[in-house]
Structure 1
Amino acid sequence: MFTTKAFIKKTKIGNFLKNVREHYIRDDIFCGFSKCGKCIPMESCLSSIHQNKCSLFNFNHYLILDTNVILDQMDVIEEATIGNVIILHTVLKEVKHRSLPIYKRLYSIIENPSRHFYVFTNDHHKDTYITQNDGELINDYNDRCIRKACSWYMKHLPKEKFVFLTDDTNNRQLALKRGNSFLFNIFLVSEYVHHLNNNSILEDKLSRKDFHIDSNTKDVFPPHLTNVELLTGVKEGKLYQGTFRASRDNFLEGFVNVDAFNDPVIVQGRDGLNRAVDGDFVVVQVFKEEDWISPSEIVLEDEGVAEENIDELEIKERELKNSTHKKKGEIKPTGRVVGIIRRKWRQYCGILQGGMDGVYQLLIPADKSIPKIRIETRQAEFLRTQKLIVTIDSWPRYSRYPHDTKRRVDLRHIDICSVDPPGCTDIDDALHCRPVDNNKLEVGVHIADVSHFIRPGTAIDLEAASRATTVYLVNKRIDMVPDLLSSNLCSLRGGEERFAFSCIWEMDKKANIINTRFHKSIIKSRQAMTYEEAQMTIDDKSKVDSIAESLRNLNMLAKILKKKKIRKRVKSKSKIALVLASPEVKIQMDSETMEPLDVEVKKLFETNSMVEEFMLLANISVAEKILEDFPECAMLRRHPTPPSSNFDPLIKAGRHLGFEIKIDCGKNLAISLDEAVKPDNPYLNTMLRILATRCMLQAVYFASGTLQKDEFFHYGLAVPLYTHFTSPIRRYADIIVHRLLAVSCGSDSTYPDLLDKEKTSKLCQNLNYRNRMAQYAGRASVAFNTHLFFKGKLQDEDAYILYVRKNALQILIPKYGLECTLFLAQKGETSNIFEYNEEDQTQKAGNIVLHAFDPVKVRLSLDSNNIQHEKFVLQLVSPCIEGFSVPPLTEMEVVEKEKRRKLPNDERKSMTDAKSKMVESIMAFENKSFAGSTFCNLSKAFDCAAWYPG
């Protein structure tokens, strides 16, 4: 049930004009407590089991938050320690109005049932709704609504305990002053957090950024004018805009470059500078000409060591005033900063000032034009031995110095490890898994924070954008970023502290995601492991250390995630992920001659799949986040659905084997591939998946604002949204995604190009082209070294028919991952032995019929008559077809051939020189300096590989 209240306003112009605003008051709104016998029970996440463990109280309690607490202390609220929180609808609306990013962060917590937050619609409840008084400010009205709701909860549920958290001094005093004894549990957030169990992490996250300033706090600087006053003043010509430049010799003097004056406007002292930082775009009030002065000629250094004491500052100001002069001809326009239109704050490097105790420290920037910066840390003793990089977060008028807010979460205490291929030095990612309360697991994917080192618009950024990707050749890598970053500062090496960007999920043991959060972090990987080492650790039951348990839990969750995909195939009619295949080749090289010693297909372990599952999950989670916050300019990755004609070879091959390959949707294709199994041919299913891979289109990057949402779909992974977040050392797209995510998390500021969908789209075109060329170069490098390995060799190998052509068979040799052509007739001739059936896709010779995927044995050799177009020559060994097949090699023939393979020195030198020239051509640009503008075009490097087969 509800009632309606109408508010009527009359005007005095002409006849009365009635304006009616309706507000619905209900008597059936649930309080959120399941044990309440007065309300109609509904769904609520408030829990009697979860307890806020605060030493201020010896009882379980529920928190009610003031608006300013949410606006200021979101980092604290996001911690899982805080739970059983009642969010009043009045507060929720005010937060949304004042800060949309904070509102989104709060709403994500409210939607997470494990956090036990409940929204109470107090402004529509019959007992908590109050009308706004005439002339009452909206902030005062909202505060009154909050106090009313708190009062109601105490009376409505007298057996429950409530704590009201507020940092609004005025609101707190009013609640106590007016005899509200029911609100005796009122605390500042800092007081409450200080008494929580395990409070050290939360205290580090406390913000000192006050929206409501205590009336007893003494202002150090004058207030800025409002935006309306600034705009009006500029429009009327009373105020002027310009860029502020601070003096490097006098910390109490600066200049503002204003177009209306030939000379910069001088600003001096606290009133003149008024919290402007070098580079800010400000508004100045210019004094009357008789009050103009000359620039100072003295050097003043800031020697302050305590923010609260401004006596030293006042002494410096008097010294500056006494030295001020008005020399004829040297007088310049003089004024004061009255407002700041746009901050130019960036990251600043510096060291901590000595001689200070406690958590409040001063950072001295390396740039003398930047003021000292106030930070909070409990690691001052250690940090004094380090150079630090900080970002200014705010500069309130009651503070002598600007503040840094810590935006990087310290995760060095967590047991994190990386799992990569052997010999990997550019380690992009690391993982952890640890148990948390209530039988849950915390899973983290930590990615190298490359965007911290590569800032937008710098020379290194432009070069990385041009290269777009790291190119992997056999035993060689062409880095996208300098080796100092790729293999050292950014690489998440074991035992070393590194900056990272973390994606962290809270999961239950059935791999259901309860909560997701993102933040920049600092980590210390315990160990850099190979896939094989990680697998051995998992399998060795005698290992019970934290890393081993972490890996086992990660592997367990990864298997569940994969099983969920399989179950989804049965239950869901939607598209599902395809499990495809493509042979990856590993070439063993001689450490001295750098000649190939062996070629083999890479061995895969469960840990390969484990890492892949969590990288995919991280990429999907990040894609959802950046698209939510940047619907027009998010960099995403899509995989278009291939046309049905692309699948013709796959359909025909499956039909000949007795399988129906359905391609009407990704789900049916995946099921068809799963069911295409023959016990007598264990490699058949892999070959079908290889063939399916060849039917696909290329996955590409795109800007979200350039396509319709139904075109975002990734066909191969069967997910509606996908991006690349997990490999920023080797992919430039990931750097852009990191920058977008950093803005979403409040860890970094944006810049114009990042939000320009046209520029993002143009960048995507280059990324797509460079990635394709990098693939070609990598394949060419493998082909070249494979040819070197088989130079002069003759050997018989087990193989399979991949395709049946009119004049040839396409052969796959699994041992080496090679795909070669076995011609059935000489060039330009028709075979007299074989008969081709186009309908059945078969070749018949007498009683022998060759189908796709049939096992065969072939003789493999290399034709080097044309050094620029070396090619493999295949001969059929079995099945034996008279007049076409060759007899198997005897052991004696193999030995003799190997002897002849040992090349003379001049021929070996010629071959080595050819290889060196190829590598030098591809690597021509690598030794060039990264400093400076873009100087190379990767396509030139790739063109030199074009003459290699493949």
Structure 2
Amino acid sequence: MKKEKKIKKKHHNNLSTGFINITHHGYAFVHINEYDKDIFIPKNKTNRALEGDLVKIRFSYKNRRKIEGEVLKIIKRKTKQFIGILKFNVQYNDKYGIVYNNNLHVDILIPIKKLKKCYNNNKVLVEIISWPKKLKNPLGKIVKTFGISGEYKTEICSLLEEYGISYQFSKKVKNEAHEIFSKSILDLSFRKDMRHINTFTIDPLDAKDFDDALSIRKLNYNTWEIGIHISDVSHYIREGSLLDQEAYSRATSVYLVGEVIPMLPEILSNNLCSLQPEKDKLSFSYVFNIDKKGKILKNWFGKTIIRSNRKFTYDEVQYIIDQKKGDYYEDIYALFLFSKILIQGRLKNGSIYLEKMEVKFHLDDKNNPTSLYLKKNNDAHRLIEEFMLLTNRKVSEFVSLNFNGSPSNKLYIYRIHDKPDLQKIFFLKKIIEPLGYSLDLKNLKTSINNLIKKIKGKPEQNMIENLILRAMSKAKYSTKNIGHYGLSFIYYSHFTSPIRRYSDIIAHRLLYYYLTNNNKNEKYKLKTTEFYEKQSQYCNDKERLATDIEREFIKYTQVKYIRKFIGKEFDGVITGFTDWSVYIDLLIFQTEGMVKLRDIKEDSYILNLNNYSIIGKKKKKIYHLGDKIKVKLINVNIEKKQIILDWINNI
């Protein structure tokens, strides 16, 4: 009550500003900082506002608990441009075409006379030009047409447009890349020549940009020298150049199903910087001596020149490990044994060992999905992963610590990972307990690792792994080191993928600066902490954006693939509830579908207050998260990326 009185006193006219959130039904909510609950805006009082707009509102108290308001003015539109599907509809007497957008509560009208080159079901970028008071809908104009909705190229181009990512590089950027390529000279004066040592890359079958290579040689009966060689991208990309600005702008490559939107032009990412076999290549390397017990005896960091003997795929290396024979068998098997020692050490130190299966697709010549499969890491994947983790950790330690182990206080860019959200951990605990699992909150990491082992191969595995991931904090970049919780590393950075991550280019530049003893003749000059922190935060934002795009495009591909199974029955696991629907994980597809509560015929179900279950009004039967269900696929919506299911019964 005291808080409400303060608000009334401060807003004597009950006026405020905030961002509006409009539901598909047309009513809305506005959040104002001074009040805990959002202000409810009725459908007829949104005053032509659109989702996300900054608005001025007037509100009044209907009673002690309920506040209702109206939009007086739109201070600033969130955006005037939207991507949607163009439809020609007789509802508007052939005067207008309409553009439908998932996130808008109204359609945008386009005068028919301005739609001569557009077709029904085209995906378009539309701009709102006006919203006359006499019309229920805003008027717009078509800015760009992407093609027929649902088609592969259409969905890629419209998705990239929506997230503000360029599909192609500008002519100026391409010209600069070609100039670097044509002028590239292998300067060996300051590089360690490692071309005589057995070196190879291990990557997916379809990989074109080879960031990393491994070298190994046996020095004596007890000692090996291992080199992790990372493409020396920072040698070619001069800070402040047009190419550098473009790479920073993108900050990361985006990996879509069947397509890569690279951070660097392909002449660099797939050619000059890529550590291709049987070619002399410039690299930035971590070279160390290790004994047969896995103890690292000596470290070296510096610029090198290498020559990869062979390009391996993960499957080829896995075959060599399994069969104990093949090209470079002794070298590969030695690396495999060392990787196992590294994994054991990491787990002993408290690292969380979560390996999520990835959904992959086979595509036909028109990029339509023909089959879906789940990719799981094998020993070959883990071999590479462990040496990359080791490199990222050792580079970070080298910069951050003096020779005596004391902090150096040198500026660097870290990959940090905070402790998990306790509320989400409690939520996870409550969900898994009815399924027969437990969590020891006092020994959380070990307990999570034990949980991961126990759910392996169980129907609820995917759901619980997703809950574990959601409970974890998001790893990010920062100059302020707090360590990496998930890996149990005190110092950790990203260094091993400079072709596809700008953060790694920053790490390379800083490491080279420290290695050259702050040589005044070097081109690279150290900036302020604020400069690198700003770059770190920008890389975080772009990484989240890329992750969202990748997930959205995977969902589109899943939905497109699954539609061929309409009418078929599947086993599923309940993964979520809302007031009106149940979400089901379709086990063989590893994706969620939805059943509307009102469509469950066996009873009338309502959501329990804790949101973890539903209960039937008549039979009082309860369904929990993790329960196994039989469902039928009845429809898909590619635009909304929705899978609609029919509830058959529990398994």
Q: Is the TM value for this pair above 0.5?
A: yes
Within the candidate set 438, 441, 448, 2:224 is matched to 441
Amino acid aligned to 1:596: P
| Contact map agreement 1:582 1:693 (CA 8 A) in 2 | no
For the residues of structure 2 that align with 1:406 and 1:729, how far apart are their CA atoms?
24
Question: CA separation of 1:469/1:750 partners in 2, compared to 1, >3 Å: closer, same or farther?
Answer: farther
Paired with 2:455 and 2:486, the residues of 1 have a C-alpha distance of 21
Match of 2:400 in 1: 627
Residue 743 in structure 1 maps to residue 517 in structure 2 = no
* Equivalent position to 1:789, from 561, 570, 577: 561
One-letter identity of the residue aligned with 1:653: I
Partner of 1:719: 489
Whether the aligned pair in 1 keeps the contact of 2:570 and 2:632 (CA below 8 Å) is yes
> In the alignment, which residue of structure 2 is the partner of 1:208?
none
Shift of 1:830: 12
Q: Which amino acid aligns with 1:766?
A: Y
Q: What TM-score comes out, normalization by structure 1 length?
A: 0.46
Distance between the aligned counterparts of 1:613 and 1:694, measured in 2? 24
- Following superposition, the deviation at residue 786 of structure 1 comes to 2.1
Contact 2:186 2:282 in 1 (8 A): no
1:697 aligns with 2:451: no
Query: Aligned residue for 1:834?
Result: 605
Q: Which has the larger radius of gyration?
A: 1
Give the letter aligned to residue 800 of structure 1: V
Query: Quick one: which amino acid aligns to residue 612 of structure 2?
Result: Q
Change (3 A) 1:409 1:685: same
**Offset at residue 490 of structure 1 (A):** 0.8
Tell me which residue corresponds to 1:733: 503
**1:305 matched to which residue of 2?**
none
Q: 2:309 aligns with which of 526, 533, 553?
A: 526
Q: Deviations over 1:361-418 (max 9, x none)?
A: xxxxxxxxxxxxxxxxxxxxxxxxx97454xxxxxxxxxxxxxx82211111111111
Change (3 A) 1:751 1:542: closer
- State how far apart, in whole Å, the 2-side matches of 1:870 and 1:565 are: 39
Give per-residue Cα distances to partners, 1:238-267, cap 9 Å, x unaligned: xxxxxxxxxxxxxxxxxxxxxxxxxxxxxx
Cα RMSD for the two superposed structures: 2.8
Offset, 1:763: 0.9
Tell me the equivalent position of 1:613. 386
3-state DSSP of counterpart to 2:308:
strand
Q: In the superposition, relative to structure 1, how do residues 686 and 776 fare at CA in structure 2: closer, same or farther (>3 Å)?
A: closer
CA contact under 8 A between 1:825 and 1:831: conserved in structure 2? no
* Mapped partners of 2:420, 2:252: distance in 1: 25
Structure 1 residues 567, 768: CA separation in 2 closer, same or farther (over 3 Å shift)? closer
1:801 paired with 2:568, answer no
Instruction: Describe the superposition over 1:24-55 as per-residue Cα deviations: whole angstroms up to 9, x where unpaired.
Output: xxxxxxxxxxxxxxxxxxxxxxxxxxxxxxxx
Q: Indicate the residue corresponding to 1:637 in structure 2.
A: 415
The equivalent residue for 1:136 is: none
Residue 398 of structure 2 is aligned to residue 596 of structure 1: no
Match for residue 511 of structure 1 among 291, 294, 305 = 294
**1:840 CA drift (Å):** 9.4
Deviation at 1:651, TM superposition (A): 0.8
**Distance in structure 2 (CA, Å) of the matches to 1:464 and 1:656:** 49
Q: Separation in 1 of the partners of 2:357 and 2:634?
A: 20
**Contact persistence 1:581–1:686 (CA under 8 A):** no
Structure 1 alignment gaps of length 5 or more:
1-385, 391-404, 569-575, 881-950
Q: Partner of 1:125 in structure 2?
A: none
1:487 is the counterpart of 2:487 = no
1:721-777 Cα distance to aligned partner (Å, 9 max, x none) = 111000000000101111122223339865576332111111112111111101111
Q: Hey, what's the Cα distance between the residues in 1 that align with 2:206 and 2:449?
A: 37
Query: Contact 2:353–2:449 (CA<8 Å) still a contact in 1?
Result: no
Alpha-carbon separation, structure 2, partners of 1:557 and 1:539: 16
Q: Is the 8 A contact 1:858 1:877 kept in 2?
A: yes
1:553 is the counterpart of 2:324: no
Give the match for residue 531 of structure 2: 759
Structure 1 residues 529, 814: closer, same or farther in 2, change over 3 A? Answer: farther
CA drift of 1:590 comes to 0.9
Q: What is the aligned residue count?
A: 459
**C-alpha distance 853-441 of structure 1, shift in aligned 2 (>3 A):** farther
Letter in 2 for 1:734: D
CA contact (8 A) 2:223 2:289 kept: yes
| Structure 1 residue 406 corresponds to structure 2 residue 189 | yes
Higher relative contact order (Cα pairs below 8 Å, separated by 6+ residues): 2
**Contact residue 824 and residue 831 of structure 1 kept, 8 A:** no
* Contact preservation (8 Å) 1:843, 1:850: yes
Q: Distance in 1 between matches of 2:431 and 2:476?
A: 28
Q: Quote the offset at 1:483 in angstroms.
A: 0.6
Deviation at residue 861 of structure 1 after TM alignment? 4.4
Alignment of 1:535-684 (within 5 A): 535-543=318-326, 545=327, 547-568=328-349, 576-591=350-365, 593-628=366-401, 631-664=409-442, 666-674=444-452, 676-677=454-455, 682-684=458-460
State the identity %. 32
Question: SS in structure 2 opposite 1:431?
Answer: strand
| Contact 2:355 2:377 (8 Å CA) reproduced | no
Please report how far the alpha carbon of residue 855 of structure 1 lies from its aligned counterpart in structure 2 after TM superposition.
Answer: 3.1
Structure 1 position 674, deviation (Å): 4.5
Secondary structure of 1:485's match?
helix
Q: Shift in Å at residue 487 of structure 1?
A: 0.3
Structure 2 CA distance for aligned equivalents of residues 618 and 635 of structure 1: 15
Output the CA distance in 1 between the equivalents of 2:564 and 2:450: 42
User: What residue identity is the alignment partner of 1:765?
Assistant: Q
Kindly state the Cα deviation for residue 677 of structure 1 after the two structures are TM-superposed.
4.4
Contact 2:393 2:493 in 1 (8 A): yes
Aligned-partner Cα distance in 2 for 1:833–1:421: 49
- The answer as to 2:230 corresponding to 1:428 is no
Instruction: From the two aligned structures, give the one with the greater strand fraction.
Output: 2
- Give the Å deviation of 1:822: 2.9
1:448: Cα distance to partner? Answer: 0.8
How far apart, in 2, do the equivalents of 1:683 and 1:445 lie? 39
Q: Check whether the contact 1:580–1:690 (CA below 8 A) recurs between aligned residues.
A: no
- Look up the match of 1:474: 257
Contact 1:637-1:724 within 8 A present in 2 as well: yes
For residues 767 and 638 of structure 1, the distance between their equivalents in structure 2, rounded to whole angstroms, comes to 13
Task: Compute the displacement of 1:459 (Å).
Answer: 1.2
Alpha-carbon distance in structure 2 between the residues aligned to 1:688 and 1:456 = 44
In 2, the alpha carbon distance for the partners of 1:601 and 1:690 equals 15
1:656 alignment partner AA:
P
How far 1:558 sits from its partner (Å)? 1.3
